[in-house]
Amino acid sequence: MQDVPSTRDANPAGTLPLHCISDGQYPAWRGEQSETLRKWLDGSGFAPERGRWMLLPDASGQAVGVLVATGKEPFDNRAVFWLGAALADRLPVGRYRLAGPLPAEQAFVLGFLHGGYRFARYRSGATLQQRPQLEFPPSVDARYVQAATGASNLARDLINTPANDMGPDELEHAAARLTERSGGELRVVRDASLAGQFPLIAAVGQGSPRAPRLLDLRFARVGAPRITLVGKGVCFDTGGLDMKPSAGMALMKKDMGGAACVLGAAQMLRELDVPIDLRVLIPAVENSVDGNAFRPGDVWRSRKGLSVEITNTDAEGRLVLADALALASEATPDLLVDFATLTGAARVALGPELPPVYSGSPELVRELLAHADAVMDPLWPMPLWDAYDEDLSSRIADLNNAPAGGMAGSITAALFLRRFVADPGRWLHLDIYGWNARERPGRPQGAEAQGIRAVVELLRQRFA
Catalytic residue, chosen from 221, 244, 301, 462, is 244
| CB-based contact 336:325 (threshold 8 Å) | yes
| CB-based contact 201:194 (threshold 8 Å) | yes
pLDDT for the residue numbered 1 = 53
Q: Give the residues across from 56 on adjacent strands.
A: 65
| CB-based contact 84:115 (threshold 8 Å) | yes
pLDDT for the residue numbered 140 = 97
| CB-based contact 283:323 (threshold 8 Å) | yes
Contacts of 32 (CB under 8 A, 6+ apart): none
pLDDT for the residue numbered 14 = 84
**pLDDT means over runs of 10, the chain (464 residues):** 46 81 93 92 91 92 93 88 94 95 94 94 74 95 98 98 98 98 98 98 98 98 98 98 96 98 98 98 98 98 98 98 98 98 97 97 98 97 98 98 94 98 98 94 92 98 91
Q: What residue type is 163 in one-letter code?
A: A
Neighbours of 142 (CB within 10 A): 17
Is 244 tagged catalytic? Answer: yes
Fold of the 145-463 domain: Aminopeptidase (3.40.630)
Q: Where are the domains of the chain?
A: 16-140, 145-463
pLDDT for the residue numbered 406 = 85
Is 295 tagged catalytic? Answer: no
Q: Give the residues across from 356 on adjacent strands.
A: 380
pLDDT for the residue numbered 357 = 98
**CATH class as words, domain 16-140:** alpha beta
Q: Is 243 exposed, middle or buried (0-12, 13-18, 19+ CB in 10 A)?
A: middle
Catalytic residue, chosen from 118, 318, 418, 426, is 318
- Give CA separation, 245 vs 47, 140, 242, 249, 436, in Å: 47, 47, 10, 6, 21
How many angstroms separate the CA atoms of 379 and 382, rounded?
10
Four-residue CA torsion sign, 442, 447, 453, 454? positive
Same fold, 16-140 and 145-463: no
Q: What is the DSSP secondary structure assignment for residue 440, as one 8-state letter?
A: B
Pairing verdict, β 53-57 and 63-71: antiparallel
pLDDT for the residue numbered 6 = 42
pLDDT, tens digit (0-9, with 9 covering 90-100), for 448-459? 999 999 999 999
Rounded to 5 degrees, what are φ and ψ at 186? Answer: -115, 125
| CB-based contact 308:200 (threshold 8 Å) | yes
pLDDT, tens digit (0-9, with 9 covering 90-100), for 203-251? 999 999 999 999 999 999 999 999 999 999 999 999 999 999 999 999 9
- Give CA separation, 310 vs 242, 295, 389, 396, 407, in Å: 11, 7, 17, 11, 18
- Give CA separation, 127 vs 1, 210, 249, 409, 440, in Å: 13, 31, 29, 42, 22
State if pTM tops 0.85.
yes
